[in-house]
Amino acid sequence: LAPGAAFAFAVQLPDLAWLIRDPTKRWARTRFTDPTTGRAMFYSTNHIYDPVSQIVVVRLYYDPVEGGPGPVVTLSQRKFFPAELEGLIAHAGMRVIDRYGDFSFGPLVGSAESQVLVCERAPARRKLPT
């Protein structure tokens, strides 16, 4: 990153209430039409969260409305909490100059879905004389 330049990026803000949901229950059952087959489907999810690794494994279920099981897609997401993310940025020789809850410059509050960080290269540390 050139001196004086900045960059911005976003990651999902962890939602503790969502992370501790019952992993045996399916959530967000939504009816939709599969765009490739035209079949009526139900979409639902559940997940398992490991607080040590901070990884959530999400299962997305796609079940036909007329019955029977459909495909299940699994994905993994690493969750980054705000203080941890700032520490990682500092460890990389950068510093956070602003943070927001979205790219419209909304505040970073507990109800935000995202955390947007604007960062710059940290000033070089002066070496102490030996």
Instruction: Dump pLDDT digits (tens) for 52-61.
Output: 999 999 999 9
pLDDT band for position 36 (50/70/90)?
Answer: very high
Please identify which residue in the block is written with the tokens 């490739």.
36
Q: Is residue 85 pLDDT above 90, yes or no?
A: yes
Cα separation, 128 vs 43, whole angstroms: 60
Instruction: Report how far residue 103's alpha carbon sits from residue 112's, in angstroms, rounded to the nearest whole number.
Output: 11
